[in-house]
Structure 1
Amino acid sequence: MHYNNLMIESKNLQDLFTMEEKIINLLPQDDARKYRRIIHKNLVIEIYTFWENFVKELIFECYKKYKKVIVNTQFIKRYFKSIQDNSYIRKVFLGNITDEGFNITIESLCHSNNLNYDVLTDLYSKLCFDKNDFAIHLNENTSLSCTINDLKGNFVEPIFDETTKPPYNKIQNIKGYLQVLVASRNTVAHQYQVSEIFTLNQLQSIFNFIVALCEVIIEYCSSQILKKSAEMKENISKRVFPKLIIRSNSKERTAILWIRSYSKKIVPKNKALFCYDKNSGIYRKASIVQIKNKDQQDCTEILPYEDYSIEINTDSMIRQRHKAFNICILEDEIPEYTHSISI
């Protein structure tokens, strides 16, 4: 799973925030008050579009790149059920049937109108991903918790459904804040008058929440692919073997590992690693902070079959008492796979 697109697109949208702030600071007070409506409409649409495009493209990337661990009888059944349940998907599907077979497209696999929490998890179900694991990723992610606190501090109220009663847990707050974005987008897209106008700071908080949620989704999808590949004994990852845990990440510190890569490819510093967390049963993303070779020189990459010490930042628990620790790299280049169906 690539983080590059997320970082690029989020930076482009952040630049738009910066530009809007500069404009509103130059306007007289009365004009600035009127311009806030324009900012609200523009940024709500931009944030929602960013969110929807990211989710759909990532889910389709999972299917396209890792078909060998995604496509099975259960996947086919769920895909055909979604076709049966939706006339638009049915029309798209029929248009992609040829004499050679049928082609699953992003429109037919990832179609949605309002991408709230329930729709999001339904899309995961099509790939036969574990919804319970998704809740673990969400509940235990610290960055996402910070953005939720920021939303509350900026007085952005989540939208809960009628069945949700206080006290609200983290998942309910995530659902509620996603619903804020979906409802706001629908309002500005379909109504001329908008009663609730967010400030630029509130919109920034909503955007920060969405970016943090996207990062969790990348971690979750990567974890599901790794877990499925292990179950099916498909080799789509390479292990970075920790020879020794030099420093644990207790007390909110980074961890330092002595490792050797068993990938035949060079691993750049910005490459995402994934640590298996035995307590939670999921893989968590690990970012490389620093790489040092055996001579304690700073490096920008890890060469195959060489020893290094790496400093990593992760939510996964790394303790010196752990005698075995699984940390790996998800391969990007997977051989093409075709699933045959007899008629």
Structure 2
Amino acid sequence: MKIMKKKEDKMKKAVIAVPMGDPAGIGPEIVVKAVSKKEIQDIAKVVVIGDGKILEKAVEICKVPIHLKKIEKVEECGEEKDTLYYMQEGEISMADFAYGKVSAMCGKAAFSYIKKSIELANAKLVDAVATTPINKESLKAAEVPFIGHTEIFGSLTNTEDPLTMFECNGMRVFFLTRHVSLRKMLDMITKERIKDYVKRCLEALKKLGVTDGKMAIAGLNPHCGEHGLFGDEEVREIMPAVEELQKEGYPVVGPIGADSVFHQAAQGRYNSVLSLYHDQGHIATKTLDFDRTIAITNGMPILRTSVDHGTAFDIAGTGIADSISMEEAIRLAAKYAEAFKH
């Protein structure tokens, strides 16, 4: 009987919380479009956290065949066809609302949606969170003490320095440094930091069920510095880190020239790449497939996936925003959710 119950539990759809993002951006539009797709309804039960009035406008603007159903508890989320289940959080004043504008009201609201989603995930009421775009200027206007999603999730899950991983058509990219200047990034390329990140990244992959293959470390300088001819970071910090990790038994290689390592990873030679700075990995994944580049925040007790595009204020409210990235974020959340149930 116990075996049967376990088998039945595995067949249950993952429950994914989706904070609708900055109300003035395209978040609500891509959410209603994504949730209206049969293939998304087939793989997950989605609970949207947001404002019913804004979601109604999004449905009207996008002309999607879906109706809204407000719920008070996650357990009320059913599987009615063409239904978007949402939990009301806060109230947007429609008299003060405008698409495509930086707004303290919207920044505060966007933060509250994320906060509620994290609370649900921390309480194990949902299996994962798939986030939508927020606007950093609106967060600042609202005096929210965080610069972005990763920092919010880190703080509200008591996770120090969460790991960002991009997945794009099977290629996985981690980031040693992210939102810092290039000058500061150079100071952060140290042997100890690389060793720490590789160990944590490999542990994160293991939790996601990725155990085969090796991680590649991207080079920093052109041709990995040509043994110090134009840059000595590879010789001084990166190569020693890789050598020590290999001696300790970790499946890692590198440094591999950044002009080839991402292509090789996309072809399946490596199970992941450690990008040394923000744009190095962003350019590689987004050039491969911009719409299907999805961010996964690892190293936390909960699973979070995210679209990797902004609020697109210039087209917000027009209904033309593409929902592919949102669909992929929900799909990956459902794919990896089982690993976070244990």
TM-score, normalising length: structure 1: 0.26
Name which structure has the greater RCO, CA cutoff 8 Å, separation 6+: 2
TM-score, normalising length: structure 2: 0.26
